[in-house]
């Protein structure tokens, strides 16, 4: 059996875009991916528009919570996807 690809989505606040991207990637990839998200300046809550969008579209982001990128540095990662210039730096 092939091991799952480990993917991290990094954005500025980890309050919406990276959360939704991670949830969609998990939905599409199923057991073939392990997905996390983080931010370089994480908020303490999800952005209200992200909550509205996920509710309207049926996107489950409940497994994800806002966190700083340093919280996942100890995890092995195959692919890092940055969303926005602050995250890229």
Give residue-wise pLDDT tens across range 34-62: 999 999 999 998 888 888 888 888 887 77
CB 14 within 8 A of CB 43: yes
**Pick among 3.90.1150.10, 3.40.50.2300, 3.20.19.10, 3.30.70.100: CATH of 5-88:** 3.40.50.2300
What does pTM read for this prediction? 0.87
* pLDDT (mean) for 17-43: 93
Residue 31 clears pLDDT 80, i.e. is over it: yes
Using pLDDT thresholds of 50, 70 and 90, give the confidence band for residue 87: confident
Using pLDDT thresholds of 50, 70 and 90, give the confidence band for residue 32: very high
């Amino acid at each position: 059996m092939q091991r799952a690809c480990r993917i991290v989505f990094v954005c500025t606040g980890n309050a919406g875009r990276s959360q939704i991207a991670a949830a969609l990637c998990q939905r599409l990839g199923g057991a073939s991916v392990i997905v996390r998200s983080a931010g370089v300046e994480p908020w303490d809550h999800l952005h209200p528009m992200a909550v509205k969008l996920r509710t309207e579209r049926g996107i489950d982001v409940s497994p994800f919570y806002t966190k700083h990128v340093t919280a996942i540095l100890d995890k092995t990662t195959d692919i890092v996807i940055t969303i926005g210039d602050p995250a890229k730096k």
